[in-house]
Every structure is written in C-alpha cells, then in structure tokens.
Amino acid sequence: MGHNDFIKRLIAGDEAAYGKLLDDFQQKVFSTCISFVPNKEEAEDLTQEVFVEVYKSIHKFKGNAKLSTWIFRITTNKCLEFIRKRNTKKRFGFLQSLSGSSIPIDKTSYFTEMNHPGIILENKEMNETLFLAINSLPEAQKVAFTLHKIDGRSYQEISEITQKSIPSVESLMFRAKKNLQKLLEEYYKKNG
C-alpha cells in the first residue's frame, strides 16, 4: 500500500490502517514522551493523547512533511504542553504555600522511570538533577537537546519536527549544552 493510499485510509477512519499506524509508531512516540517526561504512567498517557490527536487531526495532514515528522511534531507539542501545565501547578502550589494554605507537592512522583535507553545513569539522584536541569532550559533549547541527546534524533529530523533550520538547531544545541554545563556546575558547587 502506498503512502498516499495509507493516508487516505486513515482519513476515512479505516481501523486496520489506524492499527498499522499504532504498530509502527506507538513505541517510538512513547520513547519520545519518556524523554521529555521521565515517568512511565505519564508518558503512556501522553502517548495515548498523541494518537487521539493524530486520529482527530489526520484530515489536516497536508503531506508537506513526512507522516512521521508530523506525528513527532504533535508528540513534542503534547509533551511541552504537559510540562507547562505541571510547572504552572507547581507555581500555584508555591504561591499557596506563601499564603499559608499549602498543598503538598509530591516531588518524587515525577521521576519514576529512569531506564530510558537514551539516558542510563548510575543513580536516581543524578537522573533527577539532569532532568531538572534540562527542564529549566528555555523551551526551544530543551526541545532540541531532548530530541537529539535523549531521543537520538538527527539535526535534520529535529529541523523538520521543530520547523527550524539546521543552523538554528545547531545553535540551540550549543546554547543548551553551555546552559546545562553552567546549571550543573552551580548545582554541584552547592551540593558537592
């Protein structure tokens, strides 16, 4: 079956085509989600949200990019949306604690899945420190770094997913590495 026929079948709601799409992409999407959100349950939920969005939006797919690029653009956006919402909740919890009506925040629930193939470090504390540092990067740097260093994507793929030029991706990676180095040096000076 050709690529265009496959897209037409997806748009028509063909269950077999959607099943093939899941078979082809589910593990890859999960891998990307867990790169951004290193918690198995949350990454599984995000993966499900990605495929719901793909199903609802397939009629908008124009074919300007590869289907895989389009799917990973949706995946990246869903992950960033999740991180933004979580960070907003943390700020809200912090503000409430200042006003005296504290809501306990479980800091350990976020880091439960650290066996991601792209990032295997010696212990949980180092993983937490690294992911916290990555998540404190500006969003564009965080996306480029996560997709390249953790998810193993090439600069070309990142360029297509983020719709940025390859030199822009290279620049983002350079700045992300510099910022991470600075953040991690500060952390280890304080906690060394």
Instruction: Provide the pLDDT confidence category of residue 89 given band limits of 50, 70 and 90.
Output: low
- Quick: pLDDT tens for 9-60: 999 999 999 999 999 999 999 999 998 988 899 999 999 999 999 999 999 9
Is the pLDDT assigned to residue 82 strictly greater than 90?
A: yes
CATH number of residue 155's parent domain: 1.10.10.10
Report d(CA 27, CA 32) in Å as an integer.
9
Report d(CA 158, CA 147) in Å as an integer.
7
Give the pLDDT confidence score for residue 91 in this predicted structure.
55
**88 and 40 in one domain?**
yes
Residue that is last in its domain, among 113, 145, 166: 113
Report d(CA 171, CA 129) in Å as an integer.
24
**89 and 6 in one domain?**
yes
**101 and 7 in one domain?**
yes
**105 and 192 in one domain?**
no
**100 and 17 in one domain?**
yes
The count of structural domains within the chain is 2
CATH number of residue 73's parent domain: 1.10.1740.10
Joined together, the tokens standing for residue 10 give: 């997806």
Is the pLDDT assigned to residue 162 strictly greater than 70?
A: yes
Give the pLDDT confidence score for residue 112 in this predicted structure.
46
**108 and 143 in one domain?**
no
Q: In terms of pLDDT, which residue wins out, 71 or 3? A: 71
- Quick: pLDDT tens for 130-142: 788 888 899 999 9
Count Cβ neighbours within 10 Å for each residue of 62-94 and write b for 16 or more, e otherwise. Answer: eeeeebebbbbebbbebbeebeeeeeeeeeeee
**88 and 34 in one domain?**
yes
Residue that is last in its domain, among 86, 113, 140: 113
- Quick: pLDDT tens for 148-160: 988 889 999 999 9
The residue count for the chain: 192
**149 and 102 in one domain?**
no
Percent of the chain at pLDDT exceeding 70? 78
Is the pLDDT assigned to residue 67 strictly greater than 90?
A: yes
Instruction: List C-alpha distances in Å: 164 to 15, 62, 123.
Output: 34, 18, 35
Give the pLDDT confidence score for residue 48 in this predicted structure.
96
Amino acid at 108: T
Give the pLDDT confidence score for residue 110 in this predicted structure.
46
Beta carbons of 61 and 54 less than 8 angstroms apart: no
Domain that holds residue 168: 116-192
Report d(CA 192, CA 181) in Å as an integer.
15
Give the pLDDT confidence score for residue 116 in this predicted structure.
54
Residue that is last in its domain, among 88, 113, 138: 113
Report d(CA 192, CA 188) in Å as an integer.
5
**123 and 109 in one domain?**
no
Beta carbons of 34 and 113 less than 8 angstroms apart: yes
Residues 6+ away with beta carbon under 8 Å from 132: none
Is the pLDDT assigned to residue 85 strictly greater than 90?
A: no
Report d(CA 48, CA 21) in Å as an integer.
13
Look over the chain and give the mean of its residue pLDDT values, rounded to a whole number. 82
**186 and 130 in one domain?**
yes
Instruction: Provide the pLDDT confidence category of residue 115 given band limits of 50, 70 and 90.
Output: low
